[in-house]
Amino acid sequence: MVEASPYQSPPAHLRVEPATPADFGRIAELTAGVYRDEGLAPEEFQRELRDVAGRAARAELLVARDGEAVVGSVALVLDGDFREISDSDDEAAFRMLVVDRGVRGRGVGELLVRDCLDRARAAGKRRMVLSTDPSMRAAHRLYERLGFTRLPERDWSPLPGVNLMAYSLEL
């Protein structure tokens, strides 16, 4: 098991909070842009990435703010029909974690993941699961540093040609 590194508090101007409908346009732009720039967004997936209102109806949508600017987002799934890789009620998942390229390396992704873990624990969940594209190596390093391990039996494909790897962390 990979040992989690000591957590350093993020700068005071960075914070995570629930998204509001006023944030949806920025979240759609950020999410679709990051996935497109990474080469991970076939046209049929772009529609889902831009459907922020639909995502917010099925998950707890969180944003990272640097001051007032939305610089990251994630969909935390504690229950419901948005849990493609979770298989029990004591599991939570998160999806579509994105960080603006201009602030990468400043702890925004880690802040969002840690917030998801805290919220899942508070909701009584015992395990966090996630799926990620094999090419997202920086994300894999973050997950592994935080103690996530591969869960290959839950790898899946949401669309032809899109193969995702699963990770999990016992809470």
What's the whole-number average pLDDT of the chain?
88
Give the per-residue pLDDT at 3.
42
Q: What is the pLDDT of residue 158?
A: 78
How close are the terminal C-alpha atoms of the chain, in Å?
14
CATH of the domain at 49: 3.40.630.30
pLDDT score of 12? 66
Is 126 within a domain?
A: yes
Q: Is residue 7 part of a domain?
A: no
More confident residue, 163 or 41: 163
- The 10s digit of each residue's pLDDT in 159-169 is 777 788 999 99
Asked, for residue 90, whether it belongs to a domain, the answer is yes
Q: How far apart are CA 39 and CA 136, in angstroms?
A: 10
Q: What is the pLDDT of residue 53?
A: 95
In a domain, 105, yes or no: yes
Least confident of 23-32, 77-86, 111-120, 150-159: 77-86
27: in domain: yes
The model carries a pTM of 0.88
Q: Is 1 a domain residue?
A: no
Q: Tell me the per-residue pLDDT of 99-132, one tens digit each, with 9 for 90 and over.
A: 999 998 899 999 999 999 999 999 999 999 999 9
State the pLDDT at residue 2: 38
Please check whether residue 37 is in contact with residue 91, taking contact to mean a CB–CB distance below 8 angstroms. no
Count: domains in the chain: 1
Q: What angle do CA 60, 64, 67 make, to 5 degrees?
A: 140
Q: How far is it, in rounded angstroms, from Cα 111 to Cα 54?
A: 24
> Looking at per-residue confidence, does 46 or 94 come out higher?
94
pLDDT, position 75 = 95
Is residue 5, in this structure, part of any structural domain at all?
no
Q: Which of the listed ranges 7-11, 142-146, 163-167 does the model predict with the highest average pLDDT?
A: 142-146
CB atoms within 10 A of CB 25: 12
Domain hosting residue 110, numbered range = 14-170
Residue 74 has pLDDT above 60, yes or no: yes
CA-CA distance, 152 to 154, in Å (whole number)? 5
Say if 111 falls within a structural domain: yes
